[in-house]
Chains A and B, each alone.
Chain A
Amino acid sequence: MVGVSVVVREHRLRLSHGLAVAAALATVGAVRVGRIGLVAGLGGVLLLATGLVWRSRGLVALAGVGLFAATVLVAAGPGTLVGTLVGAFGAVLAADFGTFALGIDRDVDSSVATTRVEALHAVGSLTVALLAGGLGYALFRSVPRGSTLGVVALLFAAAVLAAVLRP
């Protein structure tokens, strides 16, 4: 007689788990110059870890928001240009990698190797972050002081046009 095993979902440490935590830590490193930002950032990391362990997409997304808020707090005060860009993109990437990892956890068993899929997704997101970060850096450096309205208008235009890309 063949025994039927009960399916017990085991945790498997995936590439995306590690990348999510790394992105979150990068954000914390970027915002460490501000005390409040540092506290918020550490809280975000804690939330992220909890979300990954509990497999809660909501917690992971909330962690991303927390990390992003920490970046905004620091950017409004003692933040640097590079630190702000790293913090902001790190926050979004942490949420992106984290939720992607949870989606894979949900869809396939722990025995399945998914490194290629995760690596491709990570490369895509990192590329976007680097390109956009570089563009933001260049824009910030090249725009003369006092033309904030222009930057805002450009951002607004970009947001609207992004929405137009696809329904």
Chain B
Amino acid sequence: MNRRQLLLPVGVLAAGAGVALTLRPGLVPSPWLTSGFVLGVWVVGLLGAGLAVLGRLTGDDGETGRLPTAGERPAYRVPGDGLADRTAAVGASDRDAAERDRIRDRLRDVTVAVLARREGIGEADAADRVDAGDWTDDAAALFAGTDSRHDHVETGFARRVDAVADAVADLFETDTPTGAAAPTDAEDTDASEAADGSPGTGPESGSAAESGTTDDSVTLDLDPGEELLERSGRWRGIQGLALAVTAVGILVGAPLVILTGVVGVAFAAYARVWDAPAPTLAVERAVSETDPRPGERVEVTLSVRNRGDRLLPDVRICDDVPAGLRVVDGTPRHTTALRPGKTATISYTVEAVRGEHSFDSLAVVTRDISAASRRVARLPTESATVACRPPFGEHSVSLGDLATLLSGRTEVAETGTGVSFHSLREHRRGDPLGSLDWGHLAKTGEFATRRYDEPRTVRVAVLVDARAAAYVTADERHRRPAVDVCTCAAGALVAGLLDDGAVVGLGAVGPRPCWVPAGNGRDHRERLLRTLTSHEAFDWQPPEPVTADAVSPDGERTHRATGPTARVVRSAAASEDGGVTMADTPAGGRTVAVSDGGSAVVEGESAVVDDASAVAEGESGTVGDRTAEADGSASADQHDADSAATAKTLLDDLGTRLPADAQVVFCTPLADDASAAVARQLRARGHDVLVASPDVTRDDTPCRRLAGVERRLRLDGLRRDGVAVHEWTPPTDPTAGAGWSA
């Protein structure tokens, strides 16, 4: 028997008694019975008052009923914010001692590296100095040494972390290394601009803080077609209020006070008469431009018609604006009342950026007239797509520019059918007569065969770091992730290399794998640029964060990503020029087309791809600095081993697809150690590697400064290991391209 079945007879009995007592006031002769009834009402009244208070405290129009926000890009993090968050979250008690030590270990590793670099000493000596505490005059920064570990209450931890971060950054910035590889002039210029935050190219200092923008985004966790009916709790407690005032009225003997209880009862009943109506809506959407250029404004018009036969007294809608698009005029959220057959039309304008953006759903919240009940739904709609391809060719990087960076790496020892003379060898049976050197025969009387240089075109594989850790930004206002910068840079490279006749392949390093085999020609160029425009690997929405780590029986750590983005079905499609183009399709998700429309799927297989390098940072879902931030407990060696294992996992699949003789250009913000490890692994596999790294660090907080130092250390480490590096400061506006210049 449920609560309603219990209450129904109670209510009927009370109503009967009320009618009887009203008509015959003297029906209850015993004063004891009257007192007992009054006492009962008092108890119920007190309970009612308690319920009323509790109801008001908990019965808020909760988050689930809120209309989701839209028209803003995801709130990507700035490198270093993860450490700041961890530091802020760590407590002073002994329970958090392990976490404090992990953070301290990370600081110590950076301090040792910077000190060794500055003083030109070994890391062991630098570690001794850090432990001895004579590397800085700042007393607060001395706790980076291992001797300062505490397993008891420790206060002022965040302040000291900031002090260490600032001291290390100061030490690094005053550094004039003698032993480390010096950056090129161009790199120096770029780096100094980044550090200064110079206008035009650098991050806009303090823009987010000064503008007061905060991330108060609300998301709707429903798939298209799903809906949820719930009580808003808006009138919760009103019955308790009625009972409470009734009790007060009896206490003071005032019939008028008892009468006020009518109010509570009336609205309690009102709130329970109706359920929120189903959103019987027919939706039409139109976009003013389906293939705009970056920065062009696209007007989206949404018409919503009530196709049901009931009034919708309160319908709130929010168009699902794709992740990368930003609303610059109007609003995608609207509220109205719709009679049957009536239509509401809204329009808003978005600014086009790279990507294939599909509008295919709509968030709807309907309420009944009392607003006590609401129905939250995500309605699937007909898809409208805006495909914005940046003019990659306009910013292309020529092979000559690239060859400067990769100088001496394209010579070929093979001989073959070229035109450039290489050498002579003795004639063998079967050698073509045309290759016979008649002059040599005339001079020596011996047959000899001419050999020529083998003409071989440069093969380049352009890889983009598309892990969750690469979704970081230097500008919280424009919210341009490094993945977009890297993708635009890859586009410029691809266009320039193909123009110069190179054979170019394209891939993504991350949990949403993408690989287009090396090729050339017009069709191939089109395929590569379309992939960079529309493949989900380069989406504006970060991939699903890693939710669990697993340790395999042999002790090797693997990091398994969950969620739909982790599972992919890989299909191969024959391309027009005889090559094979790999396309990746999320299982059960939308198709991501890479090859031309006419290409046929010839095989398919399932694979679970791991993104070992990512871990969620905060509720935005943006991920960063995983290796550097999450594994602080490990020693430096263990830390390096973890990064190497991560890189190996990332390259398990992609590495086998790279042509053995391909040069690799790896576009990455180097936001964590795993990205540097990927570059090293590629080099260890025999590839010539160029790391193209946009600088998306900032220097306006101690932890951000520290993240910038860590990135520079990674760059220097790569240079020492023989990896060519090119860094630059990208524009913060996503409509401005990569800002790449070789």
Binding site for B on A (CB under 8 A): 1-2, 4-8, 57, 61, 65, 68, 71-72, 75-76, 79, 81, 84-85, 88-89, 91-92, 96, 99-100, 103-104, 106-109, 111-112, 114, 116-117, 120-121, 124-125, 128-129, 131-133, 135-136, 139-140, 143-144, 146-167
Q: Which of A65, A99, A140 contacts B255 (CB 8 A)?
A: A140
- Whether the Cβ atoms of B19 and A151 lie closer than 8 Å is no
Which residues of chain A are within 8 angstroms of B250 by Cβ–Cβ distance?
148, 152
- Whether the Cβ atoms of B243 and A151 lie closer than 8 Å is no
Interface-centre pick from A65, A75, A162 (highest chain B CB count, 10 A): A162
Which residues of chain A are within 8 angstroms of B10 by Cβ–Cβ distance?
160
Which residues of chain B are within 8 angstroms of A88 by Cβ–Cβ distance?
259-260, 262-263
- Whether the Cβ atoms of B41 and A61 lie closer than 8 Å is no
- Whether the Cβ atoms of B61 and A99 lie closer than 8 Å is yes
Report Cα–Cα, A124/B370, bound state, in Å. Answer: 7
Binding site for A on B (CB under 8 A): 3-4, 7-8, 10-15, 17-23, 25, 28, 34, 37-38, 41, 44, 48, 56, 60-61, 66-67, 72, 211-213, 234, 238-239, 241-243, 245-246, 248-250, 252, 254-270, 272-273, 275, 295, 297, 313-314, 316, 326, 328, 330-331, 333-337, 351, 365, 369-371, 477-478, 733, 735-736
Q: Which of B18, B20, B72, B268 contacts A151 (CB 8 A)?
A: B18
- Whether the Cβ atoms of A163 and B239 lie closer than 8 Å is yes
**Given A75-B257, A104-B335, A164-B7: A153 touches B17 (CB 8 Å cut-off):** yes
Closest CB-CB distance, A54 to chain B, in whole Å?
15
Closest CB-CB distance, B39 to chain A, in whole Å?
12
Report Cα–Cα, A163/B34, bound state, in Å. Answer: 26
- Whether the Cβ atoms of B336 and A2 lie closer than 8 Å is no
Q: Which of A121, A131, A133, A148 contacts B371 (CB 8 A)?
A: A121
Report Cα–Cα, A32/B312, bound state, in Å. Answer: 40
- Whether the Cβ atoms of A132 and B263 lie closer than 8 Å is yes
**Given A4-B477, A76-B252, A151-B18: A112 touches B331 (CB 8 Å cut-off):** yes
Report Cα–Cα, A154/B37, bound state, in Å. Answer: 13
- Whether the Cβ atoms of B61 and A159 lie closer than 8 Å is no
Q: Which of B259, B330, B331, B478 contacts A136 (CB 8 A)?
A: B259
Interface-centre pick from A6, A111, A139 (highest chain B CB count, 10 A): A6
The chain B residue sitting closest to A129, CB to CB, is B266
Report Cα–Cα, A9/B260, bound state, in Å. Answer: 38
- Whether the Cβ atoms of B11 and A161 lie closer than 8 Å is yes
The chain A residue sitting closest to B16, CB to CB, is A157
Report Cα–Cα, A91/B267, bound state, in Å. Answer: 12
Which residues of chain B are within 8 angstroms of A108 by Cβ–Cβ distance?
67, 316, 331, 333-335
Closest CB-CB distance, A135 to chain B, in whole Å?
7
The chain A residue sitting closest to B372, CB to CB, is A166
The chain A residue sitting closest to B263, CB to CB, is A88
The chain A residue sitting closest to B255, CB to CB, is A148
- Whether the Cβ atoms of B735 and A163 lie closer than 8 Å is no
Closest CB-CB distance, B229 to chain A, in whole Å?
11
Report Cα–Cα, A155/B19, bound state, in Å. Answer: 11
- Whether the Cβ atoms of B246 and A155 lie closer than 8 Å is yes
Q: Which of B48, B56, B256 contacts A84 (CB 8 A)?
A: B256
The chain B residue sitting closest to A74, CB to CB, is B256
- Whether the Cβ atoms of A2 and B11 lie closer than 8 Å is no
Closest CB-CB distance, A148 to chain B, in whole Å?
6
Which residues of chain B are within 8 angstroms of A76 by Cβ–Cβ distance?
248-249, 252, 254, 256-257
Report Cα–Cα, A91/B248, bound state, in Å. Answer: 18
